[in-house]
């Protein structure tokens, strides 16, 4: 394996495809000047204000990156809209158009069938994708198939490393089901005899941010906006899947494959979706 060629190919894919096309912003070492925000081409998250990526290698030498993107919905804006219902609903609509945290149930069924039959899924790089403009529905199915093949978390010993992995998976997987995208407020819980916050609880109602952290504060008394200590968390739509209905809707060929499984294998299709991989996590 040529490490120089691999690094160059990864750089071209990251810069030319991910940043320039998907995010709509060119990296600093590629562009000689900074494009004004209003003249930038929108990406998958709308107009991107900034993006930052750190590249690293896995144990086997595969290069990958961790990217942070500042899109249209800034953290300050998401903190601000909590007290305004109209803007809160608008933010939810925008998030749903940019990010999706669920897969088609048939995609999950095919993956579980392959696992029970002992078959290996086809590598994502071998898929022949459809044209996203001429065949958007088929392209969406291609994208979901790739996510199902490579993006579903599988627990390993690394899930319990460090303080985050003492009690549960440090990746917080699997996540709970959620009927719709929503904003919830968390509050730290202090345990007796334990230093620091160890747990969080979800409040029944959202509390609006402090007035001193908003633009409508008294500027003469508080010229610099104070930090809002409220902790808000945005849960993405991840509805539960009706296992029985999904099994009944299988094609004749897939249903024969399901009936050919052993009884303990069929149980995987009937476990609570929040405890199974069916929720797309």
What span, in angstroms and rounded, lies between the C-alpha atoms of 73 and 46? 9
- pLDDT of amino acid 184: 92
What span, in angstroms and rounded, lies between the C-alpha atoms of 260 and 254? 10
- Give a yes or no: residue 64 inside a domain: yes
- pLDDT of amino acid 76: 81
234 closest CA partner among 175, 189, 167, 168: 175
Q: What is the pLDDT of residues 215-236, one digit of tens each?
A: 888 888 899 988 888 889 899 9
239 closest CA partner among 101, 106, 53: 101
- Give a yes or no: residue 140 inside a domain: no
- Give a yes or no: residue 208 inside a domain: no
Instruction: Tell if the pTM clears 0.85, that is, is over it.
Output: no
The structural domain count of the chain equals 1
CB 73 within 8 A of CB 87: no
**Other Cβ atoms closer than 10 A to 94:** 16
- Give a yes or no: residue 254 inside a domain: no
- Give a yes or no: residue 233 inside a domain: no
- Give a yes or no: residue 46 inside a domain: yes
- Give a yes or no: residue 221 inside a domain: no
- pLDDT of amino acid 281: 39
Which residues in the chain show pLDDT less than 70? Answer: 1, 191-198, 269-281
| Secondary structure (DSSP) of 35-79 | PPGGGSPPBTTBS--EEEEEEEE-TTS-EEEEEEEE-SS-HHHHH
Cis peptide before 258 (omega within 30 of 0): no
- Give a yes or no: residue 36 inside a domain: yes
Residue 202 β-bridge partners: 186
What span, in angstroms and rounded, lies between the C-alpha atoms of 248 and 116? 19
Structural domain of residue 35, as residue ranges?
3-72
What span, in angstroms and rounded, lies between the C-alpha atoms of 49 and 59? 33
């Amino acid at each position: 394996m040529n490490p120089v060629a691999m690094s160059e190919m990864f750089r071209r894919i990251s810069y030319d495809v991910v940043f320039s096309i998907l995010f709509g912003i060119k990296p600093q070492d590629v562009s000689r000047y900074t494009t004004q925000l209003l003249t930038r081409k929108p990406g998958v998250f709308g107009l991107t204000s900034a993006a930052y990526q750190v590249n690293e290698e896995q144990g086997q030498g595969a290069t990958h990156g961790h990217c942070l993107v500042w899109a249209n919905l800034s953290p300050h804006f998401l903190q601000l809209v909590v007290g305004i219902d109209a803007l809160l609903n608008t933010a939810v609509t925008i998030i749903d158009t940019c990010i999706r945290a669920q897969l088609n149930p048939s995609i999950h069924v095919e993956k579980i069938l392959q696992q029970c039959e002992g078959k290996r899924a086809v590598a994502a790089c071998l898929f022949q994708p459809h044209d996203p403009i001429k065949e958007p529905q088929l392209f969406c199915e291609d994208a979901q198939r790739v996510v199902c093949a490579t993006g579903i978390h599988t627990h390993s010993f690394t899930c319990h490393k460090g303080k985050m992995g003492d009690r549960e998976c440090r990746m917080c997987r699997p996540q709970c089901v959620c009927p719709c995208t929503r904003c919830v407020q968390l509050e730290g819980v202090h345990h007796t005899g334990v230093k620091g916050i160890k747990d969080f609880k979800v409040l029944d109602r959202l509390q609006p941010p402090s007035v001193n952290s908003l633009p409508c504060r008294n500027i003469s008394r508080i010229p610099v906006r104070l930090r809002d200590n409220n902790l808000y968390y945005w849960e993405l739509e991840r509805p539960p899947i009706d296992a029985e209905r999904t099994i009944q809707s299988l094609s004749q060929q897939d249903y024969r494959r399901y009936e050919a499984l052993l009884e303990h294998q069929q149980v995987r299709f009937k476990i609570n979706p929040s405890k199974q991989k069916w929720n797309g996590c």
